Structure 1
Amino acid sequence: MFYAKDLTPAAGSYTMDEPTSKYCIQVLRHELGDEVLMTDGRGGRYTTTITDDNRKKCIVQVKQYELMPPVKAPVRIAISFTKNTSRIEWFLEKATEIGMQMIIPLISQRTEKEKFRADRFESILVSAMLQSQQYYLPELTAPASFESLVQQPPSQQLFIAHCLPEQKRHLWQGMQPGKDSLLLIGPEGDFTPEEISLALAKGFQPVSLGDNRLRTETAGVVGCTMMNAVNVTAAGN
């Protein structure tokens, strides 16, 4: 499957960009007349046929368009990016494969300030979406401050995972399936007590991700997996 964010249902044909054309024709060895699937990352599934197998400007004819059903209850995660870029890139890949709908880079008091590499991060999301055979590209928002996000959270069901020794429900137990959900994951060193207090005052539920102390990116993957599993399990009942 190939990604084309500017492909629309009204298109009769489409010309792939050079990197995609090269991968399609030179690497995967597709040729004239082959059928290939494409997606616009917005749920569109395009069945196409190659009409020009030029490795720099491959042209396909759109034969069929189908809008794949979106998830009923979006799951979102706001996570403090780490200074080690490779670790956060690993998280972005896995969160996409798991099925997150929105990823929010969270700037808290203890967040290591690093350059936000939007183009690089988007290419990781696209690659992971295609590899996992999905048709919706997660939304990677601009970095958001902790205070602004907890003041106006984008979900109905709100959670904050932190390490302070207080009574917390396990995320698996605290989450109700079928509701938009947002989970906050803090930086190395955790959220400050003041940030935790603010989040709780704004309706966030304190949750645990297990007994072990997890790295930021590992906590993110565990949280994504749990939230997705709660909704999938409920949908299967």
Structure 2
Amino acid sequence: MRKKTGDEIIVVDGNGGLYEALFENENARNCNLKIINSKKNIGRPNHNIHIGISPPKSHDRLEWFIEKSVEIGIQEISFILTENSERKNIKLNRILKRAISSMKQSLKTYLPKINDMVSAKDFIVNCSNNEKFIAYLSEDENQHLLKSASAQNDYCILIGPEGDFSSSEIKRSEKFGFLPVSLGENRLRTETAGVAACHILNLVNEK
């Protein structure tokens, strides 16, 4: 629906700011807004969620993950290149545009930090989050993420490709403090697993 002069609109800046503004013209090419009320640090979470994920082959599915994770609430996304990754590069600018669009539509006031592709090896070594997890298919009964994570903390969780993490990647992650976890009994696609992990970690902080 097209806005007219004098109509009110809600604007977010991606850095915790939420603004009520008025349209001051109806120019088809651009518009001027008059801010009538502003609030800072709105919606700042009491936790930090960082997902390191091997991007799926389909860019549409990748964008779906971005869209839904931003809607649910996420603070940082890193793309990791694993031994079994199907996608070797990403279109970072396109992904950022999708994240901004999702932030606006869901009225999230914070835009997550989105990092370019890095090798899983380097990511595992350099990850400095307090609670670190890795989700993968295992014959062992790994504890569910919901029970493994503690509230109001700084998390990082690794999500692998369709072919899963290699045994060497799993061993390396455990060496550097990543705890193996389960996301449930169902076998999930990469992007679905990423959204599920994001949702679970947010649920931990709603207890």
TM range (shorter): over 0.9
Q: Any gaps of 5 or more consecutive residues in structure 2?
A: none
| Higher relative contact order, chain-length normalized (CA < 8 Å, sep 6+) | 2
Matches within 5 A, 1:192-211: 192-211=166-185
Q: Does 1:31 align with 2:4?
A: yes
Match of 1:221 in 2: 195
1:178-228 deviation digits (Å, cap 9, x = unpaired): 110011000111000000000001011000111121111111111111011
1:90-139 deviation digits (Å, cap 9, x = unpaired): 11111111101111111111112344112211121122112212111111
Match of 2:28 in 1: 55
TM superposition outliers: structure 1 runs of 4+ over 2 Å: none
Q: Does 1:112 align with 2:78?
A: no
- Distance in 2 (CA, whole Å) between partners of 1:107 and 1:231 is 30
Q: Secondary structure at the match of 2:24?
A: strand
Letter in structure 1 aligned against 2:130 = Q
- Distance in 1 (CA, whole Å) between partners of 2:89 and 2:178 is 28
Q: 1:163 aligns with which of 137, 142, 150?
A: 137
Letter in structure 2 aligned against 1:116 = I
TM-score (norm 2): 0.95
Q: 1:97 aligns with which of 71, 86, 92?
A: 71
Letter in structure 2 aligned against 1:139 = K
Q: Secondary structure at the match of 2:69?
A: helix
- Distance in 2 (CA, whole Å) between partners of 1:224 and 1:195 is 22
Letter in structure 2 aligned against 1:29 = R
Q: 1:182 aligns with which of 121, 134, 156?
A: 156
Contact 2:16/2:43, CA 8 A, preserved across alignment: yes
Letter in structure 2 aligned against 1:176 = S
Q: Secondary structure at the match of 1:142?
A: strand
* TM-fit CA distance, 1:148: 1.1
Bigger mean CA offset, 99-108 vs 127-136: 127-136
- Distance in 2 (CA, whole Å) between partners of 1:44 and 1:29 is 24
Match of 2:13 in 1: 40
- Distance in 1 (CA, whole Å) between partners of 2:30 and 2:171 is 55
Contact 2:48/2:74, CA 8 A, preserved across alignment: yes
- Distance in 2 (CA, whole Å) between partners of 1:172 and 1:232 is 11
TM-score (norm 1): 0.83
Q: Secondary structure at the match of 2:64?
A: helix
* TM-fit CA distance, 1:69: 4.2
1:4-61 deviation digits (Å, cap 9, x = unpaired): xxxxxxxxxxxxxxxxxxxxxxxx2211111211111111111211112212111111
- Distance in 1 (CA, whole Å) between partners of 2:119 and 2:28 is 44
Bigger mean CA offset, 143-152 vs 111-120: 111-120
Bigger mean CA offset, 155-164 vs 117-126: 117-126
- Distance in 2 (CA, whole Å) between partners of 1:62 and 1:155 is 37
- Distance in 2 (CA, whole Å) between partners of 1:108 and 1:188 is 11
* TM-fit CA distance, 1:164: 2.6
RMSD of aligned alpha carbons:
1.3
Q: Secondary structure at the match of 2:205?
A: helix
Match of 1:128 in 2: 102
